[in-house]
Each structure stands twice: as structure tokens, then as C-alpha cells.
Structure 1
């Protein structure tokens, strides 16, 4: 968090302003700056000290060593204060720090707390991990918080995803063998100019390029196979949103599968990603082999299927069987994509040995941001090399 983002001054480069910012960064009475905060600065200082130290009471209004107890009202007021004094990006960081450092997760089960927080992907992940313990009085509030985040993600990601994949599907369709009425004659002639016969004043087309049947026929099958272990929370949120976007495209048949040591097919809930998210159970073990076995059983058109495994690759099942399944799918024509994460945070801790083994099979494992995901899917649909980052984590 940058204190520079908290409150602009008329003279941001002045010495007094520098002292003020150092005082807010360092906190406490013996920081050495000689600056004594007052008014709004004093209130900001108290909210920072409640979380990051500097003396006095904690976020819950008590001594830090006293525990949180039934302190939801005090925490809710603190959450309101940080939203007053800091920009949204800083508020979200402070909320995450409060949950991680002070153990506030249990307080998120109370409606007044949820109404006070600034919703983001990380908060959604925390709520999903608490889903089974959530009382009925909190569930509707929690769903409203999750729905807001999902709606914002869809606004950000849906249009570009549909446009990118529609273009990829059209280009992919052109390389198939078209029927006579589907031939794109302009492209076909240009592609075969090297076969022009001057004496006959004609072009011999070795390769026909078609428009593809633009109709509503399904052109590709996509299976999203998502690891729902606790470390994959942000990836689960983004993948659920993308699953709903892909399911809205008639030319793609989308299946969404989540797994830990068991496998759950949530395809019938794809019309509402919030339902998908509340159908997950973050935490638990991991059996990638079992999940891939289920996905493999759902493949009916290997050459037109893309399987996306989103996992940190810590396999609790049978490693050799997992790798054999990946190899078999690729040999049958399936485009296999392995993502260590689908989030803005980059790759989490992951099993490097398994990542290297997948790379040896021609399926490099790498982290992917939500903004990169449409391009990764487009490459898979067109059977082009995947846009693996220069510093691919599987190397």
C-alpha cells in the first residue's frame, strides 16, 4: 500500500507533506519525524495502527492479545473508516491483511460485516471457503457480494473473449474441407496462385478454403477442469466467469468440472456463475488423475476438443496415470492446456516436477492472467502454439 495514494495535498512535493507521509508509514509516537497528525490525518493514523501496529487497540477495538471475540460491530466500523480514508485498491489490500493477520474470517459470516467490506476476487475466495459454515441469515448477503464481483468481471472480460474466440472459430473453420457452396473463392485463389497455368489461364486449387458453416452448429468442445484446493481460489472465480461466457457462445459446447479428491460436474449451472461458485468446495486434497479420467470419458470429438486443466499440479492421485491420460488425449487430437493459475497474481507454489513432465509431453504449464486467457484459448482452438510467456514457469 502506498500512503501517497491516501490524500493528495496542494503541495505534494513540500517538506511538510513528506514528513506527513513518513509519519503515516512509520506510525507510532517515536517515529522521529516530529510530525503530529491531527484531524483527518489522526483518524487515518488510527485506522492504520489498528491493523499494522503502532500502539493502541486493534481492529476489534481491544488489545491485540485479547483476541477478537464478538467484535463484529467494531470491525464493521473500521471497515467503514478505511473506505472513507483510502482508495479502493488500498482498501482491498488492507482487508486482505486484516483477514490474514488478525483471523477475521469467521466474522465474515455475519451480515453486517459483509455489508461493510469492499468486494473483490480475494474476498469471494474467502467467502467460498466459508460456504459450508455460513448460516442462512448470511447466505443471501454473501451471494449479493459474490454476484457484484462476478458482474464486474463479466463486464471486463466477456466482450473481448467472445470477439477473440469467434474470430478463432471462423479461422479454424476455414481450414476444413468445405462443400462447394461454402468455398471462399477469393481466399482459395490467393492461396493457390502458385498453381496458375498460363496456357490454360486457370488456377489449379490444391487446397480449398471455405467460409465454414456460420450457422449455429457447435464447432468446438471445451472442458474446463478446475482444481478447487484452497490455493486456487482466485482461479476458481475467474474460471467460473469464463465458463459462463463460453457457455453463452452457441458455437462452443462448454463443460465445467471441479475437483479435489472427488469430481463434480457443474455444467448444468453454467448459466449462472454465482451458482457455480457456491457449488464448489474450496480446500481438501487433490486427485488430478481422477478428474482427467472423468474429462476423458466426456470427449466424443477429440480433434475438436480443448481441455483446460487449471491446477497447481500437486497430485494426490496416481502420477503416472495422470501423465498417461494427458499423453493419450494429445495423441487422439485433443488440444490440452495446463494453467498453473488463472488470476492476476501469477503462479502460486506449484509442483515443478509435474510441470516439467507435462512440458515434455508438449503441454507446457504456465500461469495465465484473465486478460491473456482469450488469446490462449484462441491459439488452442486454431491449433497454434500456445502464447507461453517468455519466462514460462514450466521451464
Structure 2
């Protein structure tokens, strides 16, 4: 057997497991793997089919349904913590995060996240934060402190990645939106005025005719923009809640913006006073429950004081449990008053979201774009909204910008 063939068989053996290796013509099953490969195989078997980390057979005593072996990590936090350490040793962080999510979803390990030693072993990511937030009401105090440390690490990583670009992009948009068409002489920005009028250059006179003056209003006349983030905190929106909290804190740190953060399920909670610390914001949410978008929008509408200077961003999958027609009427009324209204079906790096297509179409008919947005592109979306520029709407069959 050539080295290439052996490596191919090794990879297939790790992908398919012992029984798959035998079926592929590889004799000996697991015995053909040694050293690190055998240890890696055991971690995969523990989750995707085979024996638990402690050697106990997963599934039922007879080997699972229809003779198939089933995954089993057991109910012991120390055992699971060891398994988490193993997968971090053998796989890159991105793969570890996927395996952790699979373990939580497939094997029902959420309850073990209430134990500090378990939390200290996991690879922290946005999805884990969402799980912790859904459990934090049930956590004992010692676990809650550990959970906050895990959440803070993820939040700080997101802030480092997103904050600088967000401030720069929105700062430029706010600067442009503050320009006036007929500035006073002392307020004219001559560099921008010349660039804006180069098409009016007269060679014979070696001069530019400034048909359009570009300048800034006086500082005292500058009007702050208002941003309202209205975030659905139903369980399916967990990743969006995490990102929205980070962006809310970043926007609140900009003196040229008045930022409000409102989260909702069937009730409405205004978390604006906690925006100085996104971790406090996240632990002020309660993931799960129903959805009443109409009630949330009613609250946001009541807090808007300068509609023409306001951007409302509704972050929701639009599965409305409230009064649909009233929801649409509120959106229409806000737009008629001059509010820039944007609907994000998700604010995350995940794939195309599930959402209520009928409600998305109804909003589109009102001139409200409804699409999913990645965190990296959110600053551009906000910049367009603040400048009152058209926001590009992606293909309806792939509603992600």
C-alpha cells in the first residue's frame, strides 16, 4: 500500500468510525489506528457514535437501536470536562466549537454547563454565550461568576474585532450627513468643494466654477442622530442578541449618537442604561419565550423625539405572536414621520436564517428592507441608514447581506 493510499484510508477511518473502516475494506477496525490517531478516534466516537470518554458504552445496554452504537458522554461533569480537554488538544478551535455545539444539542449536556469546572474547560464562542444566557437564571452563584468570565472573554474578542471599524465607518457617515448644501463662507470645506466641482474646470481661465459648495454646519447647530436597536430575544435569536449587545455598546460610546437598546419577547425591556457594559446587557436579557414585535415597536415609537434624525433597526426573525396588522401600521407610521427603518432577520455569521417570509414581504412592500446581515457588514448598513442612502437588498432566496 502506498503512503498516499494509507493516508486516504486513515482519513476515511477517522471520518466513518470503526464500522465504516471495516466496510471500506480496512481490516482490524480501530486497532489499525495508533497513538494520537487512536485518541482522536475515541473523542469522535464519544460524540458521534461509540463509547463515552470514560469507556462506558453509549446508548442502551444492547448497543443502541437496531444494533447501532450510539454516542454517549455520560452524565459526569469531570468526564465531559476531560473530553473537552481532549478535543481541544486534537482539533483547531473552529472544529472544537462545532463539536461542543453538537455535544450540547445532540446529547443534552446543557445542565452540565451549570458546573464551574465544565465552563472552565469549554472553548468560548458566541453560541456558547447564547446557551449560558438561556441557563443563567438557574445557575448557582459560583457558576454565575464563571459564566460571566466566559461571556466577557467572548464580548471583548468581538469588541476588538468590530469596534474600530464601526466607529470609523459611522463617524465618516455622520460627518457626511452633517454637511450643508449652502454653508457660510467660513464653514466652506474648500478641498471637498473643489473635488466636487472638478467637472466645472475652465481651462481658458484655469479655474473651477464652484456650482456646489460643500461645508459643515456650525458645531452649535449639529443635531445628534438617534439609533434604536430593537432586538428579539427569543431562543432562535441568541447569536443576534450577543452581537447586537456589542454593537449597542460601541454605538453608545460615540458622542454623536444617542443610542437606545430594547430587547423583547412577549414583554419589553429597555437596557439603554446598561450599555456601558455589554456583559451587563447580556445578563439582563432572558432568551426564550414568545414574540410580540408590535408591543416592542410601540415602546420604541413612544421614545422617538426626532423622527427625521432617527434610525430604527429591528432585529427579528419576524415570527410575530402579537397583532400583525398593528405591527405593520406602526412601521408605516414611523416611516411616514421620517424614521429610517431597517429589519435584520439575523445579525450573525450563521447560514441563511429561518424567518417569516410573509411578514418580510409585507415589510418590503412598505419600503423596509428585510435581510440577514453579518457583523462585519453591519457598520456599512448603519452608515447607509444614517446618510439616508438606499440600503442594498440581497436576493430573496438568499436573504443575507
TM-score by length of 1: 0.89
1:271 aligned counterpart, secondary structure: coil
Q: How does 1:1-395 map to 2 (within 5 A)?
A: 14-29=4-19, 30-31=22-23, 32-34=25-27, 36-53=32-49, 55-57=50-52, 61=56, 63-65=58-60, 70-175=75-180, 178-188=183-193, 191=196, 208-213=213-218, 219-391=224-396
Q: Distance in 2 between matches of 1:61 and 1:151?
A: 39
Contact conserved, 1:162 with 1:245, CA < 8 A, in 2? yes
**Distance apart, 1:185 and its partner CA:** 3.9
**Aligned match of 1:5:** none
**Distance apart, 1:241 and its partner CA:** 0.5
Deviations 1:353-394 (A, max 9, x none): 000000000112100000110110011011111132245656
Q: Distance in 2 between matches of 1:211 and 1:59?
A: 69
1:33 aligned counterpart, secondary structure: coil
Deviations 1:198-219 (A, max 9, x none): xxx9999775432345689653
Contact conserved, 1:356 with 1:394, CA < 8 A, in 2? no
Q: Which runs of 5+ in 1 are unaligned?
A: 1-11
Contact conserved, 2:178 with 2:222, CA < 8 A, in 1? no
Q: Distance in 2 between matches of 1:69 and 1:41?
A: 23
Deviations 1:197-256 (A, max 9, x none): 9xxx99997754323456896531100000000000000000000001111111111100
**Aligned match of 1:9:** none
**Distance apart, 1:303 and its partner CA:** 1.0
1:337 aligned counterpart, secondary structure: strand
**Distance apart, 1:134 and its partner CA:** 1.1
**Distance apart, 1:175 and its partner CA:** 3.9
**Distance apart, 1:48 and its partner CA:** 0.3
**Distance apart, 1:176 and its partner CA:** 5.6
Contact conserved, 2:319 with 2:355, CA < 8 A, in 1? yes
Q: Distance in 2 between matches of 1:179 and 1:225?
A: 39
Q: Distance in 2 between matches of 1:135 and 1:60?
A: 30
Q: Distance in 2 between matches of 1:48 and 1:68?
A: 11
**Distance apart, 1:39 and its partner CA:** 1.1
Q: Distance in 2 between matches of 1:75 and 1:203?
A: 73
1:89–1:135 Cα change, 3 Å: same
Q: Distance in 2 between matches of 1:264 and 1:224?
A: 12
Contact conserved, 1:366 with 1:389, CA < 8 A, in 2? yes
Q: Distance in 1 between matches of 2:192 and 2:34?
A: 72
Deviations 1:258-305 (A, max 9, x none): 000110000010010000000000000001011111111111111111
1:48–1:204 Cα change, 3 Å: closer
1:27 aligned counterpart, secondary structure: helix
| TM-align CA RMSD | 2.8
**Aligned match of 1:6:** none
Q: Distance in 1 between matches of 2:269 and 2:39?
A: 48
Q: Which runs of 5+ in 2 are unaligned?
A: 62-71
2:312 aligned counterpart, secondary structure: strand
TM-score by length of 2: 0.88
Q: Distance in 1 between matches of 2:179 and 2:382?
A: 18
Q: Distance in 2 between matches of 1:348 and 1:105?
A: 23
**Aligned match of 2:65:** none
Q: Distance in 1 between matches of 2:354 and 2:283?
A: 25
1:86–1:186 Cα change, 3 Å: closer
Contact conserved, 1:60 with 1:71, CA < 8 A, in 2? no
1:309 aligned counterpart, secondary structure: strand
1:290–1:59 Cα change, 3 Å: farther
Contact conserved, 2:53 with 2:79, CA < 8 A, in 1? no
Contact conserved, 1:170 with 1:212, CA < 8 A, in 2? no
